[in-house]
Amino acid sequence: MNKLIDSFGRRIDYLRVSITDRCNMRCIYCMPPEGILHRPHDQILSFEEIYRIVNTAVMLGISKVRITGGEPLVRKDLNLFIKNLKRIKGLNEIALTTNGAHLKEHAFSLKEAGLDRVNISLDSLVPEKFQEITRGGSLDKVLESIEAALLAGLWPIKINVVLLRGFNDSEIISFADLARSKPVHVRFIEYMPTHMGKHSYEELFFSSVEARVILGSLGELMPIENGALPGLSPGFFGRNTESAIGFCGGRMYNRGVSAAKSFRIKGFHGTIGFISPVSENFCSSCNKLRLTSDGCLRSCLHSSKSIDLKAAIRNGASDNDLAVLIREAVDSKPRSHHLGAEPAGASSEHFSMCQIGG
């Protein structure tokens, strides 16, 4: 098996693929209220072009792909694209990150097409606050999508909560209760300096350390190593649902390296996790590359360096040429971002996550 190893000895086996810069929400930490200036369709990679890049990357050592956006479910024919990706030998996992607004309608067809699992963004459990944070989103639709994803077998389902001081830090216990009652994995993510809108980074930042202290009131947080995640049993959904849900000895499994530090709490069906890029730098274990919807390959979210694969493809690059460029991106991967070394609120680059892929 081929391996992609960067200059710091990290194995790179995970490619995040943004298929669109468009989104049906306007989350306050992601984009301004008026949205962003979208790229024309002819500047966005076609599914055929993305397939070529993914296929070449897998031959080099990539084994996991996550489809992101913007919101990936706003792009037509996503099911067919996933079905084609599933045919790539050596691609072991296809995951999706979504805001959940339209997942309910597509969960079963996505599973049938070959999607393995899903992450759902959810930043408030209070309908009015959810509308405020997303600028108009429907909490009910997202909650219904979580149920649909569970029934479709898109497991393990991870609920991504971006911690925002003054917006959802008072809901941390409520989010944890989702993992108490359902076999889902709630992950609290530290806000990183991106597009700030009217709020400064200092105003919004809430550390995972603070969240962990709050959650200590629920009981001991027992660390989980990569591997089996407790909580999902064939009987959880009642009878005749085992075929719809992927089971492995009645346990859910965490695949490969994760940026999250995961914990279980006694009596919970799911788990609690923390992704702490600012307070607990995890760059030493980073295994990711990012492909933007307009065809730029980035080796680090917080570096402006990128390689234009779209231009290469449209100028007649062979698969061998693409392989050379992908290896170049791996070789250029920095040791670390510098968020923790900068003054609060500072960043060498501000951007909207929908433009890069969340």
pLDDT digit string (tens) for 227-257?
445 445 444 554 334 433 333 333 444 455 5
Question: What mean pLDDT is predicted for residues 76-97?
Answer: 98
User: Has residue 174 got a pLDDT over 80?
Assistant: yes
Strands (E) located in the chain: 14-18, 64-68, 93-98, 117-121, 158-163, 185-190, 222-224, 228-229, 252-253, 261-264, 271-275, 288-291, 296-298, 307-308
In the numeric block, which tokens belong to residue 191? 């806000």
Mean pLDDT rounded to a whole number for the chain: 86
- The pLDDT, as a whole number, for residue 282 is 83
Superfamily of domain 14-356: Aldolase class I (3.20.20.70)
pLDDT digit string (tens) for 279-321?
888 888 899 999 999 999 999 987 778 999 999 999 999 999 9
Model confidence, pTM: 0.88
The answer to whether the beta carbons of residues 33 and 197 sit under 8 Å apart is: yes
pLDDT digit string (tens) for 187-229?
999 998 765 455 677 888 999 999 999 999 999 999 997 644 5
76-85, 198-207, 262-271: segment of lowest average pLDDT = 198-207
Local structure of residue 312 (DSSP, 8 states):
H
Give the residue extent of every domain in the chain: 14-356
